[in-house]
Chain A
Amino acid sequence: MAALLGRFCRKLSFPSSSHGARRVSTTACESETGKPLNLYSAINQALHIALDTDPRSYVFGEDVGFGGVFRCTTGLSERFGKNRVFNTPLCEQGIVGFGIGLAAMGNRAIVEIQFADYIYPAFDQIVNEAAKFRYRSGNQFNCGGLTIRAPYGAVGHGGHYHSQSPEAFFCHVPGIKVVIPRSPREAKGLLLSCIRDPNPVVFFEPKWLYRQAVEQVPEHDYMIPLSEAEVIREGNDITLVGWGAQLTIMEQACLDAEKEGISCELIDLKTLLPWDKETVEASVKKTGRLLISHEAPVTGGFGAEISATILERCFLKLEAPVSRVCGLDTPFPLVFEPFYMPTKNKILDAIKSTVNY
């Protein structure tokens, strides 16, 4: 229950990029000015900018016209017109297929899937069409202008079909990119990068943070580079890797671990596919220990890929087995959510047992 309460007290300020870090998003760092915005407002701003700067960009999906179920698309239809911001019928496969076609003609199709849990009917289109379009046509055609946005992750009471984290399925598909922001400022910059990236991208937004997370977000147009992980907290004893909403939980665990004398280095992966192996490798070579945490079930989750790669690259430098603190191998439960989730205490415990191995 404490874990649940911890989740509710999430109106924290987000860890800003530390200066000695290996990779720092300089563009976002330069102007710390801006208004305090929550996640959905930051995404809304990014969409406004994207549509403003490219007349051939379109936003569509279920119920986006009135602003969307999470208010991410507020004001777009009024400002850019119903020809560029429009509702689709309830058919994810059709929506994504349509987006691929639109992108193949050189447009930027920004597709919204209402909840990541509903993305599976579109899975065939993403895997078999979007990911392979450029490859199979020998670069004659591509659907790089496609960006699929979907709210993902636990929200406290979402149950089976409003809480899933499907990122692992997509990380297994060469040809697309998978990006997950951790905070409002990151989200705006990353989303603009995704939209302008010449590859199809799946962008998962942590729905828990839509209202809960508030941060200073610069008002101008800025992009955060893809495939660059960020060290958001420096440390020497253990490297923690995560993404999205889970980073807040991990940061709390890091603070608690510090009280016990363990210095933790926390890395936000940001882009899961293709992921920044160098940053994580350099960090693990320094600390000798790795812990990965994500909400998705542990078996076959993306943590497994990170673990295997780091093992290949840093085997002799590792002091302890790579630890994964993740969701349990069950369907996302209803009343049992607090037990299922990788909570701060589970992470803290794993940090301690890894350090004391």
Chain B
Amino acid sequence: MALSRLSSRSNSFLKPVTTALPYAIRRHVSTDTSPITIETAVPFTPHQCEAPSRSVETSSEEILSFFRDMARMRRMEIAADSLYKAKLIRGFCHLYDGQEALAVGMEAAITKKDAIITSYRDHCTFIGRGGKLVDAFSELMGRKTGCSHGKGGSMHFYKKDASFYGGHGIVGAQIPLGCGIAFAQKYNKDEAVTFAMYGDGAANQGQLFEALNIAALWDLPAILVCENNHYGMGTATWRSAKSPAYFKRGDYVPGLKVDGMDALAVKQACKFAKEHALKNGPFILEMDTYRYHGHSMSDPGSTYRTRDEVSGVRQVRDPIERVRKLLLSHDIATEKELKDMEKEIRKEVDDAVAQAKESPVPDASELFTNMYVKDCGVESFGADRKELKVTLA
């Protein structure tokens, strides 16, 4: 860490880096914040608007943070997979690996005052909003120290101080909620926007269109983000949607189709959408992404798609690999440094898991708390009906 402090002080000497520098003063992992411009690989496809430029302003520090954050998210999801198989996580567990670029790219474009609301595939979004790994694992295992105090589980992560409104089990239900949050932001003159995220399956829900119409009518700063991972559980988009061009579904609402596996493209699109939403009302972003795992841990993910398809995407479009290549080609870090970083992250995740495993389960009385502000006198008896266990007064 001392080395990076050294390098940031002397960063004016170090751009662009050449490998000819002697090792002793060679910049290690860069925290250079001076701007670099990178072209996205895939252009944006606009609907009812002008596409933003393909040149994204970023910096070494930012790209490195993308790598770190995505690697952390990836490791977390893989750890969750093992914990589920070990039956330490019960219930349902929907993993986000493959889609990490969305969470990190979005965070790079917005602030913690902007709200995010999403579906049940929310672990990485929670981490992106600043959630701690140990809080996530505790919640997954239903412990008291979890972010929802163990009462929500995998599908219901929330973080109020980071304007993360969760974590929803019912498909599509979060979209009208998101538009409502946007309304409050506009009413309160917050100069902030809401990103309401949903999947290609939810894109066919009636409530989406109801909410979109209202948002457009009242010019709400709502950005609807369709995370198109091409499968609504087991049904491919071409079999469930007459028009799988989800960014055009808003008709009079402008939209943009984005390569969701490219964190920089996601950043650019979200920045663009935020500017638009603050001035002109709702916007739709369709993120073309992919999930490696099945829909949930109960779904092998191979009955409706081939293993070749999954490994193909992993080889060609993996978001972490893309950022790794960028870091290497711009000499921001070496192969070894990145591997060391990944090792550190692995240890970080393992430590968080170990810590979470030690946490206690919530107290039995928690079953009855937080239903009403003042509960309504419901009585509950223990196994012996004469023993009054709880009265909610």
Contacts and interface: CB of A to CB of B under 8 A. Distances in A.
B4 to A, nearest CB: 42
Contacts of A349: 383-385
A353 interface: yes
Interface residues of A, number: 40
A331 interface: yes
A114 to B, nearest CB: 9
Interface stretch (A126-134, A311-319, A333-341): A333-341
A347 to B, nearest CB: 10
A87 B205 contact: no
B241 interface: yes
A328 B367 contact: yes
Nearest to A88: B240
A331 B371 contact: yes
A285 interface: no
A90 B240 contact: yes
Contacts of A263: none
A158 interface: yes
A350 interface: yes
B236 to A, nearest CB: 10
A121 interface: yes
A335 B149 CA distance: 11
A65 B236 CA distance: 12
A195 B215 CA distance: 42
A239 B169 CA distance: 39
A335 B385 contact: no
Interface string B352-393: 000000000110101110010000001011011110000000
Contact of A118 (B170, B207, B232, B241): B170
Contact of B92 (A91, A121, A159): A159
B151 A89 contact: no
A329 interface: yes
Interface string A157-189: 111111000000000000000000000000000
B171 interface: yes
A94 interface: yes
B73 to A, nearest CB: 23
Contact of A161 (B90, B169, B202, B207): B169
B142 to A, nearest CB: 4
Contacts of B384: 349
A117 to B, nearest CB: 8
Interface in A323-357: 328-331, 333-336, 339-340, 343, 345-346, 349-350, 353
Interface string B132-167: 000000000010000000111101100000000000
A228 B386 CA distance: 35
A121 B240 contact: no
Contact of B91 (A88, A94, A334): A334
Contact of B206 (A121, A159, A335): A121
Chain B, interface SS category: loop
A335 B371 contact: no
Nearest to B87: A157
A91 B201 CA distance: 9
Given A334-B153, A336-B364, A339-B367, A62 B170 contact: no
A156 B91 CA distance: 8
B371 to A, nearest CB: 6
Contacts of B368: 328, 330
A87 B171 contact: no
Contact of A333 (B234, B367, B386): B367
B94 to A, nearest CB: 12
Contacts of A121: 205-207
A1 B151 CA distance: 18
Given A62-B233, A89-B240, A157 B205 contact: no
A91 B152 CA distance: 25
A353 B382 CA distance: 13
A90 B385 contact: no
Interface in A42-76: 62-63, 65-66, 69
9 contacts: A62-B232, A63-B233, A87-B239, A89-B232, A91-B206, A118-B170, A159-B153, A339-B367, A349-B384
Given A62-B232, A330-B371, 14 more contacts: A62-B235, A65-B235, A66-B303, A87-B235, A90-B202, A90-B232, A121-B207, A156-B90, A159-B91, A160-B169, A299-B378, A329-B378, A334-B152, A353-B385
Interface of A: 62-63, 65-66, 69, 87-91, 93-94, 117-118, 120-121, 156-162, 299, 328-331, 333-336, 339-340, 343, 345-346, 349-350, 353
